[in-house]
């Protein structure tokens, strides 16, 4: 019996809570001998796991190196890179799937027998361009990584067409698209009750302007409520939001739920509000997990005029698009909702659940990795 080729899935993220990387594990676990390298415990279904220390950062903090543009020194000094080099064997794996730009140089130096596929979750050179210090010091490092290493990857994918186009425009890198679609889930459309229940989940980061939700929900009709799940990325900012919302009875903050329970939890709501002001390039081109999770939950969507989301909302009739990214525009859209309109959008989500599922997307990864594996034959 021929032994399956080995595939290392490499990420500087907590793998058990990273939906995109978990989809890679699920896709390949029966087709390859899977090893993973990440923070935290091994995900289910892998043959081998290399755990990175939780405190080993994957992003640069060498201020002197960044200012003096000693970028190789900066990369070599990343704690996550140093930790991974200490535990990962060179020349052992047939193929490496490197998640995010910061793992690509490491993946290439591990000398995979057949090659490396790079999955880029963001457009790295402009990821936090709303921050001046980031633009001055980190962005040039990211551009250096792109120029030096992207061409050495056997193939590249990203999360939306806008981001893929930018990698090709700036670096000549042909980039496929695998959206952050959620796995297909069986589900039914639930009727809209007397109260229209809205849900929004987000990282608690100031540049996301989550205060727009609080402003939009002030003095709304009693039949409209909003639950917010906000991760404590910037604790001071999250505390500010909760203080602002204290006088808005229509808003409630709730704790996150495990990923496996997310779609079932969302299905108890009527509308997911995926409203992302374009404060940087990646947010402008975002097509996030929460968009697709709402579809699998068979609930409606309200989005801002984000190009990637607008196209799918219109194509499948999934919900409403606000005029702009202001709180006033969001409020105007919210108060115009009716149970009849929402019910139609929910039915559309049910029809779109299979074509917009992860299963329809991951074939791009499957084909890319198969091409790399076939190099050895």
Q: Are residues 235 and 338 in the same domain?
A: yes
d(CA 168, CA 143): 13
Q: Are residues 154 and 222 in the same domain?
A: no
Q: Are residues 124 and 155 in the same domain?
A: yes
Residue 190 within any structural domain of the chain = no
Contact 229, 204 (CB under 8 A): no
| 220-257: burial string, b at 16+ Cβ within 10 Å, e else | beeebbbbbbbeeebeebbebbeebbeebebbeeeeee
d(CA 312, CA 73): 43
Q: Are residues 170 and 31 in the same domain?
A: yes
For residue 315, give the CATH number of its domain.
3.40.50.2000
Residue 23 within any structural domain of the chain = yes
Residue 76 within any structural domain of the chain = yes
Contact 120, 150 (CB under 8 A): no
**In tens digits, what is the pLDDT along the chain, a chain of 377 residues?**
568 999 999 999 999 989 899 999 999 999 999 999 999 999 999 999 999 999 999 989 899 999 999 999 999 999 999 999 999 999 999 999 999 999 999 999 999 999 999 999 999 999 989 899 999 999 999 999 999 999 999 999 999 999 999 999 999 999 999 999 999 999 999 999 999 999 999 889 999 999 999 999 999 999 999 999 999 889 999 999 999 999 999 999 999 888 889 999 999 999 999 999 999 999 999 999 999 999 999 999 999 999 999 999 999 999 999 999 999 999 999 999 999 999 999 999 999 999 999 999 999 999 999 999 997 65
Q: Are residues 17 and 157 in the same domain?
A: yes
Provide the number of structural domains found in the chain: 2
d(CA 163, CA 281): 9
Q: How far, in Å, are 12, 79, 192, 273 from residue 188 at the CA level?
A: 36, 46, 13, 20
Q: Are residues 271 and 145 in the same domain?
A: no
Q: Are residues 134 and 23 in the same domain?
A: yes
Range(s) of the domain holding residue 109: 6-178+362-374
Residue 266 within any structural domain of the chain = yes
Q: Are residues 137 and 206 in the same domain?
A: no
Residue 187 within any structural domain of the chain = no
Q: Are residues 217 and 254 in the same domain?
A: yes
Residue 184 within any structural domain of the chain = no
């Amino acid at each position: 019996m021929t032994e399956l080729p080995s595939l290392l899935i490499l990420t500087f993220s907590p793998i058990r809570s990273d939906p995109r990387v978990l989809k890679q594990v699920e896709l390949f676990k029966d087709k390859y001998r899977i090893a993973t390298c990440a923070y935290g415990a091994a995900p289910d279904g892998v043959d081998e796991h290399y755990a990175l220390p939780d405190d080993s950062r994957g992003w640069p903090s060498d201020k002197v190196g960044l200012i003096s543009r000693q970028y190789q020194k900066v990369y070599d000094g990343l704690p996550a890179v140093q930790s991974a080099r200490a535990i990962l064997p060179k020349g052992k794996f047939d193929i490496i799937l490197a998640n995010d730009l910061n793992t690509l140089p490491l993946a290439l130096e591990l000398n995979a027998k057949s090659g490396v596929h790079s999955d880029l979750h963001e457009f790295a050179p402009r990821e936090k361009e709303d921050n001046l210090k980031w633009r001055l010091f980190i962005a040039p490092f990211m551009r250096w990584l792109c120029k030096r290493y992207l061409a050495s990857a056997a193939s590249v994918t990203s999360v939306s067409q806008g981001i893929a186009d930018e990698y090709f425009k700036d670096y000549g890198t042909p980039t496929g698209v695998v959206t952050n679609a959620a796995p297909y889930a069986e589900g039914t459309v639930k009727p809209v009750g007397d109260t229209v229940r809205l849900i929004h989940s987000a990282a608690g980061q100031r540049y996301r302007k989550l205060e727009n939700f609080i402003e939009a929900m002030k003095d709304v009709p009693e039949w409209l409520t909003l639950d917010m799940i906000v991760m404590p990325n910037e604790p001071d900012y999250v505390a500010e939001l909760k203080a602002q919302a204290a006088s808005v009875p229509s808003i409630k903050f709730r704790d996150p739920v495990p990923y496996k329970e997310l779609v079932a939890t969302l299905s108890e709501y009527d509308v997911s509000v995926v409203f992302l002001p374009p404060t940087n390039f990646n947010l402008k081109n975002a097509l996030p997990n929460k968009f697709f999770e709402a579809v699998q939950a068979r609930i409606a969507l309200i989005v801002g005029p984000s190009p990637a989301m607008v196209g799918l909302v219109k194509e499948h009739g999934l919900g409403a698009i606000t005029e702009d990214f202001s709180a006033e525009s969001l409020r105007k859209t919210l108060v115009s909702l009716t149970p009849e309109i929402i019910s139609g959008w929910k039915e559309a989500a049910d029809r779109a659940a299979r074509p917009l599922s992860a299963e329809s997307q991951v074939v791009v990864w499957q084909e890319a990795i198969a091409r790399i594996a076939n190099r050895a034959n």
